[in-house]
Structure formats: C-alpha cells, structure tokens
Amino acid sequence: MTNLLEVSNLTKRFGGLVAVKDMHLSIAGGEILGLIGPNGSGKSTVMKLIMGIERPNAGSVKIDGEEVAGLPSHQIARKGVGIVFQHSRPLHRQTVLENIKLALLPDSLLQLFAAAHIEERAHEIARRVHLHHVINRLPGTLPFADLRRLELARAIARNPKVVLVDEPFAGLTAPEVADFSNLIASFRKDGHAVLLVDHNVRGVANLSDRVLAMYLGEFITEGSADHVMRNETVRRVYLGGALQHHDRATPVNTADELLRVENLSVFYGKAQALDDVSLTVAKGEFVSVVGLNGAGKTTLFNAISALVPSTGVVAFDGGGLDGRSAGQIARAGIVQCPESRELFGDMSVRENLDLGGHHLPDEEAKKQLDWLLDLFPILKSRAGQAARTLSGGEQQMLTIARALMMKPRLLILDEPTLGLAPVILEQLSKALEVLRQTTDITVLLGEQNVTFALPHADRVYVLEHGRFIWEGPPERFATEAGAQFL
C-alpha cells in the first residue's frame, strides 16, 4: 500500500515549551492509525501541524508524496486533507444540506452556486453519515450526535486522501460511539488514510489497524493495540506502575452514609458529560474514582459542588443539596481541591492558608495550621513566599492544605498528581495515608494515576465515557478492571 500521509521529525515549540518533538508516523490508503496519549501529550498539536493550523518549527509532512509542511490550512485542504474537529463548527444559519453543499463548492469566486451534481452529492453524503432525515434542519435544532455527524460529512465532502479525526467520541453515548466507529471504519473501505485521536483508548484500539502512543510530545511506541497496551512505558503513563492497596487500620462502617449521588446527569450544551451515575461514600471512607482524561471525573465533582447544572440527586449527611450555591455547599462541609489549584498567586503561602481558615476561631485556626505545617513541612519554610513562585508540587500541597484549613467533612481531590514529579507523588501519598489512618475525614479522590489512587482507597469506581463501568474494593481492581481501564 502507498503511504498517503508521511510525517517525519515534526517539531513544534511554544516559547520554551516543546509541544511536539521529532514525531514520525505514516499512514497508507485504507488504513486507520490511532494516536493515543494522556492530556497534554501533544496529540491535537500533531493534527494541527499536519492540517496547517499551526506551523512546525521543523520536520516534514507529505501528502501522497508532496511536501505541505508550513503551508496554510486552506492549501493543505486542497492537497487532499480533511479534518473532523473536536468541537462542531457548523454555519448555524444554513441547513444541514447547505452546510454540506458549501463544503463541496469549488475554490473559485467565479462559481458561487452549486451545480446539479453537487446537490446530488450532498444528499449522498447525508445518507452515508445518517443525516438524510434531518437534511433541511438548522444545526441549532440537532442533537449533539447529529452535529458530530455533520462534522464528518463536511470533512469527507471532497473525498480527501487523508482524514484527521480529533476526539470523535467525546460527549457520545455508548450506542452512538458504536455508530461513529462504523462510520469511521467505512473510510478505510474508501481508501482514505485516517488519523484518529481520542481519550477513549479502547475505542481507538478496537478501530485502528495500528496504534501509536505518545507522551509529553514524544513518540513512545507503535504497533498493534495489544503490543502498545503491553508496553511498560504506556502502562506507566496510564496506570502509573504496579498496582497496590493498603488495608486500613480500622475498617470503615460503609452503612454510615455521608454522600449519596443518584442518577446524576450533566450536559455541556448538547454533549452529555455524565450519564445517570450513582455512587455512595460512607463517613470516614476514602473512595477513588479512576478514569482516563475526559471520562467525566471533574464534571462529577463540579456537579456535587453545584459548580455546573445537573439533574439527579446529591444528598449530604441525609439532606438534599438542591438549591444550594457552591459557597453554601462548601460551608456545609464539602470542600473541593480543583485540578487547576486556583491559588492566589500573589499572596503568600501563609495568606492562602489563612484564607482557608478565616471562619475558624483564632485558637482553632492556629491548631489546624500547626497540624497542616507538620503534615506538609515544606510549606512552613515557604510561609512568606508568594504562591505563584512555588514549584508545581509545592502548589499542590498548598492547595490541599488550604482546603484542609476549612476542616471539611468531605474533601474532594481532583487529579492531585497531575504533572508532578515522582518524589512529590511520594510525599503526597504519605500525607494522604496519614489522613486515612489517623483522622476521620472523608475523601473522594479522582485520578487517572491508578497506582496513586488504589493504595488510599477503601473502594474504587471506574468512570468511562460519563458512566461507571465497575465498582469494588481495590484488591479486586487489577484482576477485574485493570485491563478494562486501558
């Protein structure tokens, strides 16, 4: 087979950050290559470099043997590249049919109206992507899955040699994922070369002829899905290493419920981020919600904290939280440490901590502060330092400490290990184990790094594509859910 897409030594820098480094890949006609890697790996940047949305600092991109690196995107499109963007971008004042016809028009100001064959071709494409029944509707009236189908239709309208597909499964239900997988698989039959990127690793693996894994902008390995998933670096990146669990000194009474979530659903526009999820957390229990990036962990936590609108039930200590603001929920005892940390960068470490404990009587605040400075000793030596000048690991410790200054009954930790060095992970792990073994605090932890999440868990939930697919004790995770997680 002839390679329709060849990428070699592709490099992109944003200031001092190397987002993509010496990337190489090739795709033949009639082949699907799956590109996987955690958030921030550089997957979408690779696609933008191929499409000309970003200009590479170095390297080569060839479409059917012709060099296109550095050309503007409209010229690369003419060379035979179509892209399905992660976020739908239709023309909202035009119908589905008109959107497809516009994608079919020649690149000429001399021909502003569609010829008869273009009308026929637009209907043909609409039938292929299952939009024929809504062809005269405006995009704003369509369900989310049909908007994604419209993106597919526009990408393949001019029969490109290469199709780039970015996160096609985000926001789709399981049946819709299956339908989209069939549509993308049909590109193979037509001889297209397809580059497929998605957080749904198994979906990519099941659909692709080959899988390429990258991390922090660099190539890790390439081959069959089984070969890539067995690669030690890939497993470390996604799972974090060997799976362990530690028994608690005093078991938790799981019947003593503190948090109950029932049938919780969240939509971002027309995209469903959470689909009818339910979970419970007992008083004093540590519960870990593990899932790949994009699974819905942050959305779940934000829904519990009333930071995003949702449907379903969230009950805390026997009472519902309907109608309460995020501030009221925090004052009631549910305190969240966001993935983005949200520190006051120009304020000192001590000032950030004092803000967390401002509602406490002076003596109680001092006692809590002393305890936290013993738990995170590095913060004591950094007390007068501006928060923005701390390292990433020190900022994460300060974020957790500030939340603990509020003396929460339920502490929600969202991806606390994100981007941290191993030595910092060890310090965080020890601090969490101290909390678990010596206090009665309740923790709900969301993590992609399973090896960090399991040792501190009494129970584990696995979240995939906005739904829980497994729940159980950590000692059963490796045998029952470890392979599923990848």
DSSP output for 235-301: HHHHH-SS------SS---TTSEEEEEEEEEEEETTEEEEEEEEEEEETT-EEEEE--TTSSHHHHH
Q: Residue 2: what pLDDT?
A: 80
Q: Identify whether the C-beta of residue 334 lies closer than 8 Å to the C-beta of residue 375.
A: no
Q: Residue 357: what pLDDT?
A: 83
CA nearest to 12, candidates 65, 68, 57: 57
Q: Residue 482: what pLDDT?
A: 61
pTM of this prediction? 0.62
Q: Residue 27: what pLDDT?
A: 95
Domains of the chain in start order, with CATH, are 3-239 (3.40.50.300), 257-485 (3.40.50.300)
Q: How many CB atoms lie within 10 A of CB 130?
A: 17
Task: Give every residue of the chain whose pLDDT is below 50, as ranges.
Answer: 108-112
Find the distance separating the first CA and the last CA of the chain, reported in whole Å.
30
Question: Where are the strands (E) in 29-121, listed by range?
Answer: 31-36, 58-63, 66-67, 81-84
